Amino acid sequence: MTSDSLKLRLEEAEDLAHSLSEAISSGDTKETVRLSQRLSELSVPVSVSISSEAYPPNSIRLKVGVEDAQSDNYIPVTVVVSLDMTIAQLKDKISHDYGFHPLLQRWVIGKRLAQDKETLFSHGIREDGDQVFLFILSAQAAKLTRHQHQQDEDHQRLESIIESVLLLSRGCQPTVEKIAPPPATPQTPPPLPPKVPPATKPPLPPKPQSGWSCTKCTYLNKPTRPGCEMCGEERPVEYQVPDVYQPDQEETLRLQQEELAMLQYQQALEEERERNYISLLETDDHSLVPNLLEVDCPICFCPLPPGEGAVLRDCLHSFCRDCLKGTIVNSMDAEVSCPFMDNDYSCNSKLQDREIRNLLTEEEHQRFLELRLSIAESRSEHSFHCQTPNCPGWCIYEDEVNEFSCELCSETNCILCKAIHKDMNCKEYQDDLRIRAENDLAAKQTKDMLEGLLQNGEAMHCPRCDVVVQKKDGCDWICCLMCKTEICWVTKQARWGPNGTGDTSGGCQCRVNNQLCHPNCQNCH
């Protein structure tokens, strides 16, 4: 933007501001709106203030109590002010009349720290005798340097000279013929006497404070006050109430009221905790927690009036009962997850058993339990299903267990042979199985199953009695159930030599000369 265009904008803004002031003063609303709109289009900084003509014209005598941090004296001062005077103007007046720099002044009016832009009228000052408080800071606390103070004094002195010159230029002065003075004889001025350094006054001893000084507004508070009475700033953490302090009657009443309020708060808090505990106990008696507020189901988006929905206990998400029931029925997992999901979050909480039982009918719940059992069996690594036809019984076996007695059909299953063979041991059953396999389809299928295990390396023949044995889990040491021979699974031979346990002349000879019997050996001893 060029300087010419900026000059035109400022000139137009000045005219608009002057016209806007007249429009507001005359109460012309339409003109005020038009001028304000045009002035806002120029985007120039504007300051709006109330003219001094709007305030009462009379001056009042303001009572000012002055105190500082170094003196015990409370000095009352009367100052003549106008109601439209701002705090900044009042500071300048005190600085001009009494020499206290504006940075050193803190004005408190009506127990509130006054700001520079506020007027005396805004603080409720109306008539003669109204009281205010002035606290004088030290130069160190106000961070006022001697150089800055000298500059401000020179600036005030220059302003007073300029004001005097302007007043003289406005008056009528008679014309006087000037006569040239006689030429002055040059004289040597007498020597100046040496400057005597001013006597340094000893510093005043610090005033013993019966309270704590606010770090924000410097107001001196009573020792027991937890916060500043003027600005609300918290009491310094390191401050401790003196043991010899005796609060006055007003402070004692405040402390009693504060203690009573704290007791009432603690009592209300305890009552609320008791109500919450009783509500929790009542909620625990219900299998399904109803919603207390009206919400929308996040699945079907139907509104749920209070009491018609369900709130899940683990995650507190609310749904309608039909959507939760559909989630359970269509679940293909043993645990039903919360169906809540959005673009940023998917809930992983699980529905509790009592919630599922409450949402399903008896028949649906029974089917759900059967599905759970089926899923658990299929996912278990060491599960064995009863070989009785149509029997739902199954178990999870351990390495040293070789038989499973089904409690549903009362049959005893051989886990090694994966069959039921009453009154026969494993060898007799396997010999009989080879004979029956020629004519019996079921026996042939069992025989083929055993041969498949042998071919796949999942079973082997005992090196002594030739019965089919199988390793279920654990280390590579197994024992034949028929002849009790200890066998090395990885080498498919006896663990020890012909003399039994400890004979390393034969067998797999594992750990002889600290050598494993096979690179894949998993502790066959």
Q: Which residues are catalytic?
A: 475
Q: Give every CB contact of residue 164 below 8 A, 6+ residues apart in sequence.
A: none
Cβ burial of 518 (10 Å; 0-12, 13-18, 19+) is middle
CA atoms of 17 and 5, how far apart (whole Å)? 18
The dihedral built from the CA positions of residue 249, 253, 254 and 256, taken in this order, carries a sign that is: positive
Residue where the block lists tokens 């599960």: 383
CA atoms of 311 and 60, how far apart (whole Å)? 69
Report the side by side order of strands in the sheet with 75-82. 75-82, 59-68, 131-136, 105-108
Is the CB of residue 19 less than 8 Å from the CB of residue 46?
A: no
Measured from the Cβ of residue 224, the count of other Cβ atoms closer than 10 Å reads: 16
CA atoms of 362 and 8, how far apart (whole Å)? 88
What are the distances in angstroms from CA 509 to CA 96, 378, 489?
Answer: 112, 39, 13
CA atoms of 125 and 55, how far apart (whole Å)? 12
Is the CB of residue 39 less than 8 Å from the CB of residue 12?
A: no
R_g of the chain computed on alpha carbons: 51
- 240 phi and psi angles, rounded to 5 deg: -125, 135
The alpha helices in 382-515, defined as continuous H runs, are 426-436, 441-455
Measured from the Cβ of residue 136, the count of other Cβ atoms closer than 10 Å reads: 21
CA atoms of 501 and 495, how far apart (whole Å)? 8
Amino acid sitting at position 248:
D
Token pair belonging to 45: 């900084």
